[in-house]
Amino acid sequence: MALLLIGSLVAFVDRQVVAIVVGPMSRDLGIGDAQIGWLYGIFALFYAVAGVPIAWLADRYSRKWLIAIGVFLWSLMTVACGLTRNFWEILLARVGVGVGEASITPATVSMVGDLFPREQIPLALSIYQTGAIIGSGLAFVIGGVVLGIVEQAEPLVLPVVGALAPWQQTFVYVGLPGFVLALIILMLREPTRRHLPTATREPVAATTQKSLETRVDAPRGFAELRGFYRSHWQTLALHHLGFLSLALMGYAFVFWTVTYFVRVHGMGAADASQTFGWIFLVAGPMGPILAALLAQRLAKSGRADANISAGMIGGLLALPVIVAIQFAPSALVAFVLYVPAMVLVNSPFGIANAALPLIAPPQLRAQVAAVNMLVGAVGMMLGPPLAGYFNEQVFPGPDGVRYSLLSLTCIFGFLGSLLLWFCRPFYARSLAQAEAQIAADEAALAAFA
């Protein structure tokens, strides 16, 4: 679990570093805020699209090998970002980063389902989600440190490629550790796929065993996935769209944070990145853990909708804090407000993933996680470029970024919370159906053993 968390951490470092070098990169490449935003958006698009076929592989083949190959690919493409000379080259490299990173979440969700009892899965996946948050914080800390160092150092000159600007060197240096991690991932033990959580697999009557294994063991492609979505379409539609809206708000807010402090409060990019990174690093991981603990407390009190309610509460409480940040009179006040903001903005996303394995059949866990990743990545894809468009076209000028973030927060934060409110009773029904099916399967195995 620790190695999977580190993998998520490294993924987010490589994913977020583009947000640190917005200023120098846009000057060197001659591109605007909307194009800068699409460097994150195109990553998100291919991250999401590649996740579905990779999840199909994760439900059938070695998950540790899928993760190791993905780590190697995204690290290679992060280094490649630092060797590019124009917008289209770096856009293509970001596509490779997205495809590589698409491997880790579906494979991890599948593995966690085999490593932990059902009642511990939400907390386990919320802990895994802290890797993403810690990685985002480290991206700003490490990226800011590296940028500050390379800005003062002699230019790096490589054979064939030539001299690299400081922002290019930042990509190269943060991408290199992933090659070592890929080798370490291969040392993981591939867990046995455990389809029925508590029943032992003693020999049973052949027809009964065949019937049960057809239902819970044999992967039957996307037809079975479509059937699951048809049976639970209200739960899944409201879940996916609600957390998508909160993701759009969160990714826009985080991506443009350094630019906000540079333009609104006159800070240097390296200093703003490091300060924000430490806040993210300390406060951010608390969000998913607190949401998971809240969900556990609600579940113990009899709330079957506990996982959805916990995510909704975190998203709703984030709204007033983000609004207050945009009107902070100084950088110091803004940074103080960022502490609760990072807790609350990050709180819904661990529980969003953790809610799904509890209602999905075991043989579909990775694929359902990939669909959720696909939908959530729409928020990741649209948040940064949409805010960039607002910066340029709706609220131009140095202060425009604060009004862009204010607008997106109010619209999508409220919409996401509202959708999750309506999701609660449907999720409770889906959870009851899943638990009834598990009880029936275990009873059948016990009766014929």
Confidence of residue 221 (pLDDT cuts 50, 70, 90): low
Distances (CA, A) of 239 to 61, 276, 408: 28, 30, 20
Angle at alpha carbon of residue 282, lines to 279 and 284, rounded to 5°: 80
Confidence of residue 182 (pLDDT cuts 50, 70, 90): very high
Average pLDDT over residues 274-281: 87
- Specify the pLDDT at position 201: 36
Angle at alpha carbon of residue 382, lines to 380 and 9, rounded to 5°: 15
Average pLDDT over residues 412-425: 93
List the chain domain ranges: 2-189+207-448
**What is the Cα–Cα distance from 225 to 221, expressed in whole angstroms?**
7
Tokens 């999701």 sit on residue: 423
Min mean pLDDT across 91-105, 228-242, 305-319, 364-378 is at: 364-378
**Predicted TM-score of the model (pTM):** 0.70
Confidence of residue 216 (pLDDT cuts 50, 70, 90): very low
φ, ψ for residue 208, nearest 5 deg: -65, -45
- Specify the pLDDT at position 59: 77
The class of domain 2-189+207-448 in CATH terms is mainly alpha
Strand partners, 163: 157
3-state secondary structure of 88: helix
Q: DSSP label at 360?
A: S
Average pLDDT over residues 123-143: 75
- Specify the pLDDT at position 218: 41
Contacts of 231 (CB under 8 A, 6+ apart): none
Q: Both tokens of residue 147? A: 């940028």
Average pLDDT over residues 258-268: 88
3-state secondary structure of 230: helix
Q: What is the pLDDT of residues 342-379, one digit of tens each?
A: 999 888 877 887 788 788 887 787 778 778 877 877 88
